[in-house]
Amino acid sequence: MSSFKTTMIGYVGYRGREGQISFLLHRITGLGTALFLTIHILDTSLVYFFPQLYSHAIDVYRTTAFGIGEIALVFSVLFHGVNGLRVAYVDLIAPKLWTIPKSRSSVRWTLAVTLILWLPAAGIMLYNILRHNYGLFGG
Amino acid sequence: MQINLKIFRYLPDSGNKPHYDKYVMEVNPTDRVLDVLEQVRADNDPSLAYRRSCAHGVCGSDAMQINGHNALACKVLVKDLDSTDITIEPLRGLNVLRDLIVDMEPFFDHFRSVQPYFINDSELPADGKERLQSPTERERFDDTTKCILCAACTSSCPSFWADGKYVGPAAIVNAHRFIYDSRDTAATERLEIMNEATGVWRCRTIFNCTEACPRDIKITKAIAEVKKAIITGKLEN
């Protein structure tokens, strides 16, 4: 079996605990953020090469689908950042966290901090989508 | 109690693809998973292949994936699985030789690569007897002496699944055992091996290895201590 197939089946099939879940979320959110950055660099480059297309790209960003994608993007950036800080802190600074219970707890805290940071941002972004795309809240 | 058992089956060169055989069986809740496998082999299919030796959690022969989690079949009771559906698969990341038997040679190659033996070419003490060590010095690496090389940790590690060149948790545990032995003089060489691209930096601190270890070795802690020793250049107590 190829390493890729073994890895993918392992990601899904192996029943790891919080550590594996945070590892997978870290990868997914990292890839999601990298994908967005790539698209963002490409669409910004349109200003220079094809200015008319740039306006069209901005219109596409204002659609509901992209708006929801941006809410997910904010979660990705926040989780990836907070979890990255957690991993660096655990690995390099805090030997007292090198136990299973404390590791599990640190992952739960990471998710809680991410949600606390994300929910207000998600609320504002959702409000703007409903206001500008659906005419709600006096839009 | 009645269980629904699913066992991974594969015989290379037989022409059959990997598949699962299913059995509905009556077992005792206090039976071990190894007892269940023995029952299948005795009553249903004598061709079922798996490793076993001591059957008491000491030899490390019967590590396998039980309901998606690595463990020794001789240490897991059916009642502790909290399910009547039991799926048994070979260890991940090592090639299957037959059914639940995997090729352990790459795993042992990694083990050998960390020099898992005592190195000290200096003169013996004046009395010509043993090199003494205090209880505190012995305690420093006590946890990592417990490894039985079952491969449950290494084959639970996503970094190892992705790249079999990574030495894996078990090899690092055995390096740790000698790195922190006050009588050994090759810690620097072992830390250099651990600092290579295939060494400790592949660890993502996700604790799958520690969760899987049947000897409750604090593997991730040992790996973190080796990482810290590489960064600081000191073997802290």
Q: What is the pLDDT of residues B127-166, one digit of tens each?
A: 888 899 999 999 999 999 999 999 999 999 999 999 999 9
Q: For the beta carbon of residue B144, count every other beta carbon within 10 angstroms.
A: 25
Tell me the C-alpha distance between B198 and B114, whole Å: 11
Residues of A within 8 A of B65 (CB-CB) are: 14
Task: Give pLDDT tens digits for A104-124.
Answer: 999 999 999 999 999 999 999
Cβ contact A98–B69 (<8 Å): no
- Please identify, among B72, B102, B132, the residue that sits at the C-terminal boundary of a domain: B102
Q: Domain limits at A63?
A: 18-134
Quote the mean pLDDT of chain A: 92
At B170 the pLDDT is 98
Residues B120 and B192 in one domain: yes
Give the number of domains in chain B. Answer: 2
The CA–CA distances, whole Å, from B40 to A138, B37, B47 equal 70, 5, 10
Distance CA A76, CA A27 (A): 10
Which residues of B lie inside 8 Å of A (Cβ-Cβ)? Answer: 65, 67-69, 92-93, 95, 156, 158, 161-164, 204-208, 210-211, 218, 220-221, 224-225, 227-228, 231
Is residue B172 domain-shared with residue B71, that is, in the same domain?
Answer: no
Inter-chain CB proximity B206 and A6 less than 8 Å: no
The answer to whether position A6 is within a domain reads no
Examine residue B195 and state whether it is found in any structural domain, yes or no.
yes
pLDDT at site B237 = 59
The reply to whether B89 and B113 lie within a common domain is no
Banded model confidence at residue A81, pLDDT cuts 50, 70, 90: very high
Domain count, chain A: 1
The torsion angles phi and psi of B184, rounded to 5 degrees, stand at -85, 150
- Which of B102, B119, B146 finishes a domain? B102
Among B172, B176, B204, most A C-beta atoms within 10 A, so best to mutate, is B204
CB atoms within 10 A of CB A103: 23
Please return the burial class of B170, using the count of CB atoms within 10 Å of its CB with bins 0-12, 13-18 and 19+.
buried
Which chain B residues are closer than 8 Å to A16 by Cβ? 156, 206-208, 211
Task: Report the pLDDT value the prediction gives residue A80, as an integer from 0 to 100.
Answer: 97
Give the nearest chain A residue to B221 (CA atoms).
A98
Q: Is the interface score ipTM higher than 0.85?
A: yes
Amino acid A114: pLDDT: 97
Q: How close, in Å, is residue A19 to chain B by CA atoms?
A: 4
Neighbours of A117 (CB within 10 A): 17
Instruction: Find chain A residues with C-beta within 8 A of B227's C-beta.
Output: 91
Prediction pTM value:
0.91
Return the residue of B nearest to A87 by Cα.
Answer: B205
Average of per-residue pLDDT across B43-71: 96
Mean pLDDT in chain B?
95
On whether residue B93 sits in a domain, the answer given is yes
For residue range A2-21, what is the model confidence (pLDDT) as tens digits? 789 999 999 999 999 999 99
pLDDT band at A57 (very low <50, low <70, confident <90, very high): confident
pLDDT at A1 over 80: no
Please indicate, yes or no, if residue A27 is contained in any of the structural domains. yes
Query: Is B162 found in the same domain as B68?
Result: no
Asked if residue A89 belongs to a domain, the reply is yes
Report pLDDT for B60. Answer: 96
Supply the pLDDT for residue A137: 85
DSSP sequence for A69-116: HHHHHHHHHHHHHHHHHHHHIIIII-GGG-SHHHHHHHHHHHHHHHHH
pLDDT at position B28 over 90: yes
**Looking at residue B86, which CATH number applies to its domain?**
3.10.20.30
Distance from CA of B66 to the nearest CA of A (A): 10
Q: What is the CATH number of the domain that holds A32?
A: 1.20.1300.10
Of A4, A6, A20, the CB nearest to B206: A20
Residue A53 placed within a domain: yes
* Position B237 in a domain: no
Residues of chain B in contact with residue A5, where contact means CB-CB under 8 angstroms, are none
Domain of residue B187: give its range. Answer: 105-232
Q: Which of B67, B85, B102 finishes a domain?
A: B102
- Tell me, yes or no, whether A13 lies in a domain: no
A8 found inside a domain: no
Query: What pLDDT was estimated at residue B179?
Result: 97
Please check whether residue A43 lies inside any domain of the structure. yes
Residues B189-198: tens digit of each pLDDT? 999 999 999 9
In sequence order, what are the residues at sequence separation of 6 or more whose Cβ sits closer than 8 angstroms to the Cβ of residue B210? Answer: A100, B153, B217, B218, B219, B220, B221
For the residues B10-36, what does the mean pLDDT come to? 94
pLDDT tens digits along B167-196: 999 999 999 999 999 999 999 999 999 999
Mean pLDDT, rounded, for B104-116: 98
pLDDT at B16 over 90: no
| Tokens (6 digits) for B135 | 């209880």
Q: What chain B residue is nearest to A102 in terms of C-alpha separation?
A: B207
**Chain A nearest-CA residue for B232:** A92
Q: Answer yes or no: do B221 and B109 share one domain.
A: yes
Measured between CA atoms, the residue of chain B closest to residue A96 is B221
Structure confidence at residue B235 (pLDDT): 85
Mutation target to probe the A interface, by most A beta carbons within 10 A, among B220, B227, B231 is B220
Say which CATH number the domain at B151 has: 1.10.1060.10
The pLDDT assigned to B234 comes to: 85
The one-letter amino acid at B110: H
pLDDT at B134: 96
Is the sign of the CA dihedral B225, B229, B232, B234 positive or negative? positive
**B216 has a pLDDT exceeding 80:** yes
Determine, yes or no, domain membership for A2: no
